[in-house]
Amino acid sequence: MLFHPPTGTIVVCDYGLGFRAPEMVKIRPVIVVSPRFRSRPNLCTVVPLSSTEPKPQEMFHHQLSDGAYPPARGPMWAKCDMLATVSLDRLDRIKTRGLGGKREYVVFEVPADDLAAIQVCIRFALGLLDK
């Protein structure tokens, strides 16, 4: 990606390079949660999304509101305990199929309510808030 996506943007992240299980190790959608800082170009902090419901659900998990991520075929969860700062080179837009099956690249933004809830979940994940 040649630009720093705005906070709240959903893109895909390739975790496959340099990460090891139990870290994220595949390509998955993520939400950008950091603003662009001039002092750290080409880096941003992201929270991964998953269609797998966390068991047990913790204070650092957030279920996105319906329609927040249109390509999803069901509920999506922000896994705020898996926060990572990554190179912009790992990020790309979401690939979808448009009319006639033509490939399109799109960028989604989560609703403000979801982003606010995710920011609270991040604080829980980092031990900055009590239950």
| The residue count for the chain | 131
How much is the pLDDT for 131? 63
pTM: predicted TM-score of the whole model, two decimal places: 0.91
Q: Averaged over 19-43, what is the pLDDT?
A: 90
CA distance 28 to 129: 27
Give the tens place of pLDDT for each residue, 38-79.
Answer: 888 899 999 999 999 999 999 999 999 999 998 899 999 999
Q: Which CATH class is domain 9-125?
A: mainly beta
Domain ranges for the chain: 9-125
State which amino acid sits at residue 2: L
